[in-house]
Amino acid sequence: MLLIHCPYCDDTLPELEFAYAGEAHIVRPEDPSKLSDEEWRDFLFIRTNVKGVHAERWRHINGCGRFFNALRDTVSDRFLTTYKAGEARPDMTQLEAAE
């Protein structure tokens, strides 16, 4: 079981308290009616499905209830960092330098 840091509670807690919520930084278009079928399809269905560092959403569902973002390596299943919803995706090079 993974340990996950909730950026709102500022606490590292067991995976049981959290729920995965899909890829992060996919913003719902301001006015969907202006999108072409292809653009709307991409928004709905097309995901990066990366092998490596993946920005994704989690919810501290059995805790504070907040949605937040995380960078997780899909190969090692390791969380590199978590950050609050609305914040920009952290720069990986800076993260690596900090390690």
Partner 1 sequence: MTKYRVKGKGRVNHAKPVSFTFDGDRFEGVEGDTVASALLANGVHLMGRSFKYHRPRGVVTAGSEEPNALIGTTRGKGQFEPNTRATMQEIYPGLKTESQNKWPSLAFDLGAINDRLYMLFSAGFYYKTFMWPRSFWDSVYEPFIRKAAGLGKAPSEVDPDSYASRYLHCDVLVVGSGPSGIAAALSAGRAGSKVVLLDEHAEMGGTLLSEPSITIDGKEAWDWLEAALAELDNLPNVTRMTRTTAMGYYHQNMIGLVQKLTDHLADAPTAAPRERMWRVRAQEVVLAQGAIERPMVFHGNDTPGIMMAGAAQTFLNRFGVLVGENPVVLTSHDSAWYSAFDMADAGANVVAIVDTRPEVPAALVQQAMKRGIDTLVGHTATGAKGRLRVKALRVNPVRHGKVGPAQMLNCDAVLVCGGWTPSLHLFSHTKGSLHWDPEAKVYLPGHKTENVHIAGAGRGLWGIAAALEDGAKAGTDAVKALGRMTGTATYEVSNDRAGTGITQKELPTDRSAGKAKAFVDFQNDVTAKDIRLAVREGMKSIEHVKRYTTNGMATDQGKLSNMNGLTIASDALGKEAPQVGLTTFRPPYTPTTFGAFAGYHKGKHFEVTRRTPIDSWAEEHGAAFEPVALWRRAWYFPQAGEDMHKAVARECKATRESVGIFDASTLGKIEVSGPDATEFMNRMYTNPWTKLGVGRARYGLLLGEDGFIRDDGVIGRMRDDLFHVTTTTGGAARVLNMMEDYLQTEWPDLKVWLTSTTEEWATIALNGPNARKLLAPFVEGADISAEAMQHMSVVECTVGGFPARLFRISFTGELGFEINVPARHGKALWEKLWAAGQQYDICPYGTETMHVLRAEKGFIIVGQDTDGTVTPLDAGIGWAIGKKKPDFVGKRSLERPDIVAPGRKQLVGLLTDDPKTVLTEGAQIVDDPNQPKPMKMIGHVTSSYWSEALGRSIAMAVVEGGFDRMDQTLYLPGESGKPITAKVTSTMFYDPAGDRLKVE
Which residues lie near partner 1 (CB under 8 A)? 1-3, 19, 21, 27-28, 31-33, 35, 37, 40-41, 44, 57, 59, 61, 65-67, 76-78, 85-86
Q: How far is the CB of 91 from partner 1 (least distance, A)?
A: 21
CB nearer to partner 1: give 1 or 97.
Answer: 1
Q: Which is nearer to partner 1, 19 or 92 (CB)?
A: 19
Which two three-digit tokens encode residue 36? 């072409």
Nearest distance in Å: CB 92, partner 1: 19
Give the residue among 65, 97, 96, 67 at the shortest CA–CA distance from 80: 96
Do strands 53-59 and 19-23 pair parallel, antiparallel, or not at all (unpaired)?
antiparallel
Q: What is the DSSP letter of 7?
A: T
Query: What does the radius of gyration of the chain's CA atoms come to, in whole angstroms?
Result: 15
